Chain A
């Protein structure tokens, strides 16, 4: 869902289940996409990236899916662990532009 003001969307997942965090990006010219994880009091931590010429990329326990037709990005986390609790941001970047544009974050809450 959309966040308004200071309210972050929250996703609650049972420990051991898979998590799927979704993101809509805005710029059709964006050709590079990144997911960041941010724990409380820390800077964003790079998780995984994907270029626009791909639609899927896998890392360790994480998979990013890109649907350019509907400008949608998702992050799948397999076998969610307590250490996965954080705010997750999707981000986009276009070729020739050096700044990263961050989307609205999603807070992932792990249920015991």
Chain B
């Protein structure tokens, strides 16, 4: 499968714990995006990388959130001190041109 992959697919954690998600983009895509989707809503942009550089961050991305793409390939999204409001689907997308963005299956986070 040469699409975008994300791990884990599901994560249940207790409030206050840290979690880390991984995204592997389509191999030749230099652009990588993180979005968050809550129930019944469309995805909302969180942050964007071009190669290893993080070029844009949404105001939704509080200081408890950090994303990296150290070698310009896979990316990680870490949430520290999770809160119940962090419960959502975290989606990763990749793109070659910046226009057509292809999404992974997402990581569903549940904070109890």
Contact with A along B88-106 (1 / 0, CB 8 A): 0001010000111111111
Could you tell me the distance between the alpha carbons of A89 and B44 in the complex, rounded to whole angstroms? Answer: 12
B106 near A49 with CB under 8 A, answer no
Q: Which residues of B contact A102 (CB under 8 A)?
A: 42-44
Number of interface residues of A (CB under 8 A): 26
Q: Which residues of A contact B56 (CB under 8 A)?
A: 98-99
Could you tell me the distance between the alpha carbons of A99 and B4 in the complex, rounded to whole angstroms? Answer: 17
Could you tell me the distance between the alpha carbons of A74 and B39 in the complex, rounded to whole angstroms? Answer: 23
Measured CB to CB, the closest approach of chain A to B108, in angstroms, equals: 8
Secondary structure type dominating chain A contacts: loop
- Nearest B-chain residue to A101, judged by Cβ: B45
Which residues of A in the span 43-69 have a Cβ within 8 Å of any Cβ on B?
Answer: 43-46, 49
Q: Which residues of B contact A45 (CB under 8 A)?
A: 103
Q: A6-B39, A49-B100, A98-B98 are in contact. Are A43 and B91 (CB under 8 A)?
A: yes
* A residues adjacent to B (C-beta < 8 A): 3, 5-8, 32, 34, 36, 41-46, 49, 89, 91, 93, 98-105
